[in-house]
Amino acid sequence: MGHETRSRVARAAWRRTAQRTASVAGRLRGTRGRPDDAGMATAEYAIATLAAVGFAGVLVVVLKGSEVKGLLSGIVRQALGG
């Protein structure tokens, strides 16, 4: 087999592999040739919710400290004029 024939065979094999990959990816997405972001919004909401819960947990721990309670009480007293 000559060099030219091997190159042609290799290119054809590469094309078939690329087509199969695109076909499998299309089946996994549920479409062919069209990007589909149907599940992205749900995943983004889940990540944002987990981040918010983590931040709230840290905030609760910080606010339970006696120093922070004293500072917040002082701010509230000052705001109420007492």
pLDDT at 27 over 60: yes
The whole-number average pLDDT for the span 40-67 is: 88
Instruction: Read off the tokens for 5.
Output: 């024939």
pLDDT at 23 over 80: no
Are the C-beta atoms of 29 and 23 separated by less than 8 Å?
no
What's the rounded Cα separation, in Å, for the pair 55 and 16?
A: 49
| pLDDT band of 41, cuts 50, 70, 90 | confident
pLDDT at 56 over 90: yes
pLDDT at 32 over 60: no
The whole-number average pLDDT for the span 45-62 is: 92
What's the rounded Cα separation, in Å, for the pair 41 and 49?
A: 12
